[in-house]
Each structure stands twice: as C-alpha cells, then as structure tokens.
Amino acid sequence: MKARYIACSTIATISLTAALVLEGTAQVTYTAEQATAGSVAYEQHCAECHLQTLVGSFEAPELAGQNFLGYWGGRPVEELMEMVISMPPGEEGSLAQAVYANIVAYLLERNGFPSGPAELVADATGILEGSTGPQEAPTTTPTRSTGPATPTGAAFGGRGGASGGGTSTFHEVTDFRPVTDEELVNPDPGDWLMYRRTLDSQGYSPLDQINRENVTDLRLAWAWAMEEGANQPTPLVRGGVMYLTHPMNTIQALDAATGELLWEYRRTFPEGYRAFFSQLRSIAIYEDKIFVPTKDAWLVALDARTGEVVWETQIADYQQGYTNVAGPIVARGKVINGINGCGRFFEESCFITAHDAATGEELWRTFTIARPGEFGDDTWGDIPFELRGGGDAWITGSYDPDLDLIYWGTAQAKPWVPASRGMTTADAALYTNSTLAIDPEDGRIVWYRQHVPGEALDLDE
C-alpha cells in the first residue's frame, strides 16, 4: 500500500509448505482473473512501499514468502482482508471493496494458495489453507562492469532490468575544464563540486559579493520548475554550469546565469519498477564526468559536456530493495558510494563501494554490518548474518586527504526495536549508528565510533 508500514509482528523464518487445516472451516477461494486484476491494483497502490516483488522495504513488511505464510497460514481470511482494507494509513478504505478483494487474491496467488471457480469477496470467511509454497518472483543478478558498459552517445529504450537511460543534448557545454584532484581539495570559490562543496564537508562558501548590507537588493533572475516527487537536491556548479538532480534520476545541466537548459539525462527503469524514495541528495563530478547513483541500484557516469552515458555498472539488485539516496564523493580517482534499502533480510547487507572513475570497475566493497567470523560478529547476539538488517548510508561521506581517510556514517539496525530483531539494547549491532573511517585504497575499516550502541529510537543520521 502507499503507506509506510503494515502493522505486523516480526516472525522468524519458518519452513512451511502448507497452511494449517482446520476441520469445519470453509475453503477460501478466488479466481485467476481476480489475481490478475489484483496484480495491477497492487502495482498502483501497494508496490511503492512493499515493492514489485512483495519483499517489502523499511517498515513495510514482506507480503510473500515464508514469513508471510508463517504468520497468515491457518488464520481467517477476514483478518487478512481487514488488514489490507486498513491500508494505506490516512486513506483507509479508500479503494472499492472489489479492488481490495482482488489485491488479497493476488497475495494468495503469490503465496501458493490455489485459485478456484468462485470469486473472493470482501466479507469472505474461511481459513487460509492449502498453500503449496510462495511463488518465486524473477530476480536479477548484479554485474561487475570492468569497462564502459554502454557505448558513449547511445540511445536507450526500455530495458527490462538491464541498464539504460536517455539523453537529450541541446547545447554542448563549451570550454569545459576537467576537474582535477587538486581542485576537489581546493575548489575555485565560484565552483561547488560536491555535496558540501569541499571534501571535508564544511559546506562553506568563501564568496562575499552578497553580504548583510546588500542581500535585500537581490531580485529574481530566472526560475526553473523541478520534476514532481520528493526531492532534496544539492546542485553542483562548475565553470558557470549548474548540474541539477530531479526525482527519479533526471539530471539536467543549466546555464547558471540564464537558466537555459543545456542537456538532460532521464533514467529508464525496468518495467513495473516503483521507488520507495524518489530523491537523490547529491551527485559527484570528476575529470569530465558526472556520477549518478540510480534508484535501481546502478552507478552511471555521464559526459559533463553532453550528458551522454560514458559507462554504467550495477551495484546491487533492486528487487531485493536496494536503492541509492545519499550520493557519492570522489577520492583518489575512486567514486565512493553508500547503498540504501537494507531493511529486508538477505545474505548481502548494506555496504559502501569504490569504483574506478574512468571505467566503473568495482574496486572494493565494505559491508556496514559485521559478518560471521569478523570483528563485531558477537555484537549481534545469536542472529545469523542473513537476518542482520540496517546500516544504511543516508548521508554522503567525506574525505581527509591529509590523513587519507574516508568518513561515512551508517544508520541504525533494522527493525528499529531490538526485541523485534531478536536482540536487546545490550547488543551493539556493529557497525550500525556509527562513523566509519575507511582506507580509500582497499576499503578497510581503520577505526569506527558507534554513537548509540543497540539504539531503538531511530537516532541515525
């Protein structure tokens, strides 16, 4: 549903191939046509939070799989129907009763409950029984690009899970000067080359033309409409050109003096893809490229002059909930990026990656969740690695060229409440809610500071 969550107890993974059968109860039925209609309604009203694959994201629980069956198997269908009708919070019951019934039919189909000749109705009764097990959704396998994955200047259409995007170049950026390592350390006062302008993330501009005495004299020079959707952009400026991020990975280059559009890149997403977060807080610039981490967990390099794709590489599988929100920095020729979307449970947790700025090749990957046998493993109690969630990177990191260390912050463990993740507040859950000092050469964690060990109040960022 378009809600942030469905109230649901955290259930341990249970191996279940058939729901509990109770004597004297009616068989729950639905038609295949209902499930088909329900899949469309689910995409429109539910997939934004629970994802196309039904695996859930953040506080939105999974709606297909062993955990779903472990909780709902053997329970009355009217309880499931009541829960679905209560969605989304603030707009409860806003859909037609038949639409809610179709959505429930789709959930039943995806969880292996057989269809039949009779339609499911909103006031149906009966016990959820007879599941043959969850139906597997299609998945994609992350690739590791070692060179330009896409020809420069290519045109892209729908990609069905592969890479893609489209660029329109109206006016090539002329007299562009490639950004050097020295300029990242000490940028020109008129440039804004990264999230907080400088590698130490001070966010301070030395420009003094506008001051307290003349600020009231400012007048509107031009205005530019942004795309619809949640957005928290930090525009970059290089040589009088503004590089602007819009929701859902639309990137534009504008003449900062006039507002004229120079080029535009629009990301093409897999069919049916719905992002839980539409915003990207920052992009990065280095040499002659703009680096864009995408909502579907890719990293794209654009030509700063034309917006054409130079290379792109997949970081993670978006169907497991992975996405990008914060944005990267560039240090020592490497694009450093932290991933988001780690509220689900898979054998890969959240992580920070480094990519060769010239080719996109992944150089190292540092996990923000302690792995079995590593330092910090014992801070997760008895929780197996695949159930250790959280450690997202919500804010862009920084770099100290003198100490040659990258600093990156991590979010809390998931679920937020320790008891819900089978732990207590005495379990620190490294490296969540921490600042990590990372060696840019190999991704090694040099030191860490955990600000609130085992916290339960969403005190990240």
Catalytic residues: 458
44 burial via Cβ count (<10 Å: 0-12, 13-18, 19+): middle
Contacts 24+ apart (CB under 8 A), 355-358: 355/299, 355/313, 357/286, 357/287, 357/289, 357/291, 357/301, 357/330, 357/333, 358/287, 358/333
Which amino acid does the sequence have at 49? C
| CA pair distance 19, 396, nearest whole angstrom | 45
CB atoms within 10 A of CB 417: 14
Strand partners, 317: none
- DSSP result, 217-257: G-------PPPSS------EEETTEEEEEETTTEEEEEETT
With contact defined as beta carbons under 8 Å apart, do 392 and 316 qualify? no
Burial of 159 (0-12, 13-18, 19+ CB in 10 A): middle
Q: How far apart are CA 250 and CA 156, in angstroms?
A: 14
Residue type, 80: L
User: Any idea what the Cα angle at residue 235 is, between residues 229 and 237, rounded to 5°?
Assistant: 155
Distance of CA 361 to the CA centre of its chain: 21
Helix (H) or strand (E) holding 82: helix 77-85
* 8 Å CB contact between 453 and 429: yes
Collapse the DSSP code of 330 into the 3-class scheme (helix H, G, I; strand E, B; otherwise coil) and give the result. Answer: strand
Give the containing element (helix H, strand E) for 43: helix 32-45
Distance CA 242, CA 447 (A): 36
Judge residue 444's burial from the number of C-beta atoms within 10 Å of its C-beta, 0-12 exposed, 13-18 middle, 19 or more buried: exposed
Q: In this structure, what token pair is assigned to residue 190? A: 């008129």
